[in-house]
Amino acid sequence: MILAFILRNKVGQGSKLRKSSQIITFSCKESPKLKNVAFLSASCYMMYMHHENEMTAIILPCACTTIKKASRAITRLYDGSLSVVGLTSTQLSILRRLFRAGPDGKPLSRLAEDLVMDRTSLYRTLTPMKQAGWIVIENAISGRAKLAKLSNEGTQIVERATRQWESVQTSFIETFGFERWKELTEMMSEFTEHAISLERSLPK
């Protein structure tokens, strides 16, 4: 028998589970000595929760794993299309941000914030882009901030990559559904803001 119990009340040997107790199915082995569902074998995974909301969250798929799986799948799709012009979806996202920023460029700190990237990952991504001549990194006029700007070569590759992006974007959205994508976009924006808010509230 495959069992695991979330006990919301203390259960003693030989006693029966009270009505308020919850039983959840998981992969484990039933002990042959199990009597009146009071004991489970050591191979059982036993969880003790005190709030139904927490219990519900525990039995749902992992939010992080689910989003990462979707991210990897969509990244492969877009990267495959953009490989024709020698770009990745992450690189194009950065170039498009700088394109919108105009000739004044964008502070690296702001760029990292906009892309929800830590600065180390951003700098690592920018290095080959700078070497390829797509971007220029300069010191700001005042202060110690550094600015990233799009070069002429960067503008040209954005224009070439945009055609590939439009193709894969159109294909994905049309097959997925316009309304479904609009709803998902709103949900993902809320999801991102919620995750960032929770991260900031964690003790340092």
Region 14-33: mean pLDDT is 42
Stretch among 4-8, 30-34, 56-60, 94-98 having the lowest mean pLDDT: 4-8
Q: How far apart are CA 176 and CA 181, in angstroms?
A: 7
Q: What contacts 149, CB < 8 A, 6 or more positions away?
A: 98, 101, 103, 104, 105, 106, 135, 136, 137, 138
Coil, helix or strand at residue 57? helix
Between residues 168 and 203, the one the model is more confident about: 168
* Domains observed in the chain: 1-60 (no CATH), 63-201 (1.10.10.10)
pLDDT confidence of residue 28: 43
Region 36-53: mean pLDDT is 43
The answer to whether residue 140 scores a pLDDT higher than 70 is yes
Assign 144 a pLDDT band (cuts: 50, 70, 90). Answer: confident
Q: How far apart are CA 105 and CA 96, in angstroms?
A: 11
Q: What is the DSSP string of 141-176?
A: SSSS-EEEEE-HHHHHHHHHHHHHHHHHHHHHHHHH
Q: How far apart are CA 15 and CA 129, in angstroms?
A: 68
